[in-house]
A = this chain, B = another copy of it.
């Protein structure tokens, strides 16, 4: 009997997101026929587990896409920019998690809970997956927008080390080892820097016992690339090209799961109760909001789970059109691998004969 199910390629199978992706593919509904694991020449030949089977990692070449229906890319921007079109030219639908195509008007930027219909409009054969920080909040924001009409957003992020990949995770653990046990640390200027030394990994300052108001690269007028991504991607996903957005991105010493505080303003007046009502039933959202019982999301509880968690919802005291919220989302799952897998599953349903 032939396997009618589509063939999937996972490009970048060995990184921090690739590892979570293999875990997700092993636990979600098995919609794929063959799964090919693809990485750079350096990792080719390794055997990695997916769906309980050992699979040999193949080198990224044009021919490796022969017979592939859908490819999920999690590689640096420049690798996606080069190879996603190569795969698309061979008839593969590419779901790309890099920043290379997100703002391309011919590439839809998709969050299945918010704009699943956009997956069908893909003239280049490429669909983009949003940045992890945008994804940490957009499912909650999309649900509220659908009912209340979003007009403005001010966001501040509390971003995890793994947003900077495996090197970010390793750096944070290395630094924690260095600072732990020294009870004098964190009280004199520069003492944390002295103990941690000059190896800051992918971060511009020590991350252990610190917060760092920087993520990404420097763009015009002092904005970081990460802050502009939140603005541009939220506008595109919500189809609100004039949405007012300002964001400040800050890295915190958390391994995985981004948190975001949001001040969101709507066309309609809002109440906390109405927000609860909307979010209680929203797909992909867990409402966890009872401070009297100590219930609000934190990264330590949210990490490893699929939904976006939301709590600390309050109507702004000076504006009946605005809400304050605190959201947490696993930046490697919903923030990357899970959303990519969800988009790919929409394609699998489209490509699988009824």
Contacts and interface: CB of A to CB of B under 8 A. Distances in A.
Contact of A301 (B154, B193, B291, B301): B193
Given A189-B303, A254-B209, A261-B248, A218 B291 contact: yes
A303 B187 contact: yes
A255 B158 contact: no
Contact of A213 (B210, B305, B311): B311
A305 B299 CA distance: 31
Nearest to A311: B213
A141 interface: no
Given A154-B263, A189-B302, A218 B292 contact: yes
A181 B187 contact: no
Interface stretch (A5-13, A37-45, A315-323): A315-323
Contacts of A170: 183
Interface in A248-302: 248, 250, 252-256, 259, 261, 263, 272, 289, 291-292, 294, 296-302
Nearest to A177: B180
Interface stretch (A103-111, A221-229, A339-347): A221-229
A102 interface: no
A33 interface: no
Interface in A224-242: 224, 231
Highest count of chain B CB atoms <10 Å: which of A158, A185, A255, A256: A255
Interface in A176-211: 176-177, 179-181, 183, 185-193, 204-206, 209-211
Contacts of A190: 300-301
Given A156-B261, A158-B211, A181-B180, A206 B300 contact: yes
A26 interface: no
Contacts of A312: 213-214, 222, 248
Contacts of A255: 185-187, 209
Given A263-B263, A292-B218, A296-B214, A324 B246 contact: yes
A338 interface: no
Contacts of A173: 183
A253 B172 CA distance: 13
Nearest to A302: B189
